[in-house]
């Protein structure tokens, strides 16, 4: 008898075909964003679910969905999962690392360039019909090449950004991470570990690439912003909540830092209204991994985790692999 699986958001039809070959499949191609109560209702009798960052899996949901065995997130981040509660309930979690590393690093660097060189601000000026003449300081921004890039969080994506910065733009790269990288990786990235205080005080551009956790909540707030150069820029492609958006808006308005580029926000898709009112911030709607090939690879990997676990008792990229031992011995 086939296991029952829910795909909680719209996804590529080819991925649905692959899943339908193995499971009794329920889908959401209209792409409704369900409430938690609606998600629980849809999950009744389901052994697996393909989720995105908009579906919260917590203890209450797990208690209401006792048949559930695996939640496969179509994302590298998994702050929508209460992983401790999932492990306690014997539910496997999986994510999609590696397949989006380079695409996200590309976007992070694009957002850095757009922020430093005031591209969005200049485009809005042009579209509004305000460009009538040249002026020596018109939209003069900050240099990127040869400047100092500070990276907070130095996992796969942070390392990809470091390599682009050092080898492509001749930037001096400094980083702060919970664990220092080994010497060989630091050399490959041409990056130097520093304290968080030195990172904030020394960088011309700050890139946030650390995973979200309760400990990382508001890792950059008013005290951290006050330590940065008034000419510095900040780019967040990590997760909403790592930056205190209200404090950032105040810092941008007051000239504490020069500009920011944000792909993620607290409480998204809501964006803090103070950020929307500012011209010195570039805003994008959580699209750092948004190329067709990368999003397809993410969906395929999430599907492969469902198939490997529910059909074969294994997984490709498990988040709590101890569950696999329990499944094997059950």
Q: Per-residue pLDDT tens for 25-53?
A: 999 999 999 999 999 999 999 999 999 99
User: What local confidence, expressed as pLDDT, does residue 308 receive?
Assistant: 98
pLDDT of residue 183: 97
Q: Are 62 and 38 in contact (CB under 8 A)?
A: no
pLDDT grade for 330, boundaries at 50, 70 and 90:
very low
Q: Which is nearest to 15 in space by CA: 248, 282, 297?
A: 297
Token representation of residue 82: 């209460």
pTM comes to: 0.92
- The mean pLDDT of 116-143, rounded to a whole number, is 97
The active-site residue out of 56, 163, 253, 286 is 286
Residue 170 neighbours by CB distance under 10 Å: 12
Question: Which CATH architecture does the domain made up of 4-99+292-329 adopt?
Answer: 3-Layer(aba) Sandwich (3.40)
Q: Catalytic residue, from 198, 217, 268, 296: name it.
A: 268
Please give the pLDDT value at position 1: 85
Condensed to tens digits (0 to 9), the pLDDT of residues 204-251 reads: 999 999 999 899 999 999 999 999 999 999 999 999 999 999 999 999
- Of the residues 164, 239, 295, 308, only one is catalytic, namely 239
* Between 218 and 1, the higher pLDDT residue: 218
Cβ-in-10-Å burial (0-12, 13-18, 19+) of 327 comes to middle
Residue 199 has pLDDT above 90, yes or no: yes
* Mean per-residue pLDDT, 76-91: 96
Average pLDDT, the chain: 96
Instruction: Give me the residue spans of the domains in the chain.
Output: 4-99+292-329, 101-283
3-state secondary structure the chain: CCCEEEECCCCCHHHHHHHHCCCEEECCCCCCCCCHHHHHHHCCCCCEEEECCCCCECHHHHHHCCCCCEEEECCCCCCCECHHHHHHCCCEEECCCCCCHHHHHHHHHHHHHHHHCCHHHHHHHHHCCCCCCCCCCCCCCCCCCCCEEEEECCCHHHHHHHHHHHHHHCCEEEEECCCCCCHHHHHHHCEEECCHHHHHHHCCEEEECCCCCHHHCCCECHHHHHCCCCCCEEEECCCCCCECHHHHHHHHHHCCCCEEEECCCCCCCCCCHHHHCCCCEEECCCCCCCCHHHHHHHHHHHHHHHHHHHHHCCCCCECCCHHHHHHHHC
Give the pLDDT score at 325: 81
Q: Which fold has domain 101-283?
A: Rossmann fold (3.40.50)
Active site residue 268: yes
CB 154 within 8 A of CB 270: no
- The answer on pLDDT for 314 being more than 50 is yes
162 in Cβ contact with 207 (< 8 Å): no
Residue 329 pLDDT > 60? no
Q: What pLDDT was estimated at residue 86? A: 98
Same fold: 4-99+292-329 with 101-283:
yes
Catalytic (active site) residue 286: yes
* Mean pLDDT, residues 54-69 taken together: 97
Residue 327 has a pLDDT of 58
Tell me the mean pLDDT in the region 88-92. Answer: 98
- Tell me whether residue 239 is one of the annotated catalytic residues: yes
pLDDT at 67 (0 to 100): 98
């Amino acid at each position: 008898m086939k296991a029952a699986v829910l795909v909680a958001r719209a996804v590529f039809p080819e991925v649905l075909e692959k899943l339908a070959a193995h499971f009794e499949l329920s889908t959401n191609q209209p792409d409704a964003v369900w409430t938690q109560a609606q998600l629980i209702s849809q999950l009744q009798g389901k052994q697996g679910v393909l989720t995105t960052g908009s579906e919260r899996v917590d203890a209450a949901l797990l208690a209401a969905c006792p048949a559930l065995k695996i939640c496969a997130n179509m994302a590298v981040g998994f702050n929508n999962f209460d992983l401790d509660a999932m492990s306690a309930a014997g539910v496997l979690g999986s994510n999609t690392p590696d397949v989006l590393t380079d695409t996200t690093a590309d976007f992070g660097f694009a957002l850095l360039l757009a922020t430093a060189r005031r591209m969005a601000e200049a485009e809005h000026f042009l579209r509004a019909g305000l460009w009538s003449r040249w002026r020596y300081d018109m939209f003069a921004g900050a240099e990127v090449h040869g400047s100092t890039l500070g990276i907070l969080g130095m996992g796969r994506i942070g390392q990809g950004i470091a390599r682009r910065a050092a080898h492509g733009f001749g930037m001096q790269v400094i980083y702060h991470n919970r664990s220092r990288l080994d010497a060989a990786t630091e050399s490959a990235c041409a990056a130097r570990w520093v304290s968080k205080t030195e990172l904030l005080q020394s960088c011309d551009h700050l890139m946030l690439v650390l995973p979200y956790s309760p400990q990382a909540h508001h890792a950059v707030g008013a005290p951290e912003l006050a330590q940065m150069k008034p000419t510095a820029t900040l780019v967040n492609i990590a997760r909403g909540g790592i930056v205190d958006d209200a404090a950032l808006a105040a810092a941008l308005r007051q000239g504490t830092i020069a500009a920011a580029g944000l792909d993620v926000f607290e409480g998204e898709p809501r964006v803090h209204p103070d950020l929307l009112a500012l011209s010195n911030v570039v805003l994008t709607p959580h699209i750092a991994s948004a190329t067709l090939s990368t999003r397809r690879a993410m969906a395929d990997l999430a599907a492969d985790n469902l198939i490997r676990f529910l059909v074969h008792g294994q997984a490709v990229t498990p988040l709590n692999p101890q569950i696999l031992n329990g499944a094997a011995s059950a």
